[in-house]
Amino acid sequence: MVEFMEKVAKSAETEELTLDERNLLSVAYKNVIGARRASWRTISSIEQKEESRGNEDHVKVIKEYRAKIEAELSKISYGILSLLDSHLIPSGLLCKVQGVSLEDEG
């Protein structure tokens, strides 16, 4: 859904996104970020348990997986910030929700 909504946002060069389009864009990113955040919390909890047990082999693998999740979060976050900076905010296409979008950036 994120990929599709990115295409919609990028193709809206002259028109403001509709309320439905803005909501879908928001929900798409919220869902993919939320899933990764839940994964990160779970894997961090498992990492702490394994560290307390002294299972260094497990901890090493878990840290690698946590780093992968963090990289995905960074990529997704950069994606929406880039979309906002390059297509939506400069052209005023999110003027009605610009305050909300800028809140997400900070």
Q: Cα dist. 59→36, 68, 70, 83 in Å?
A: 19, 14, 16, 36
Which residues have C-beta within 8 Å of that of residue 65, sequence separation ≥ 6? 43
DSSP run (H or E) holding 74: helix 56-83
**Is 104 inside a domain boundary?**
no
Q: Confidence class of residue 98 from pLDDT cuts 50, 70 and 90?
A: very low
| pLDDT tens column, 22-41 | 899 999 999 999 999 999 99
| pLDDT tens column, 45-97 | 999 999 999 999 999 999 999 999 999 999 999 999 988 888 777 655 555 54
DSSP run (H or E) holding 73: helix 56-83
What DSSP character marks residue 17?
Answer: P
Range of the domain at 90: 2-9+19-97
Q: Confidence class of residue 6 from pLDDT cuts 50, 70 and 90?
A: confident
**Is 106 inside a domain boundary?**
no
**Is 25 inside a domain boundary?**
yes
Q: Confidence class of residue 102 from pLDDT cuts 50, 70 and 90?
A: very low
| Number of domains within the chain | 1
CATH code at position 38: 1.20.190.20
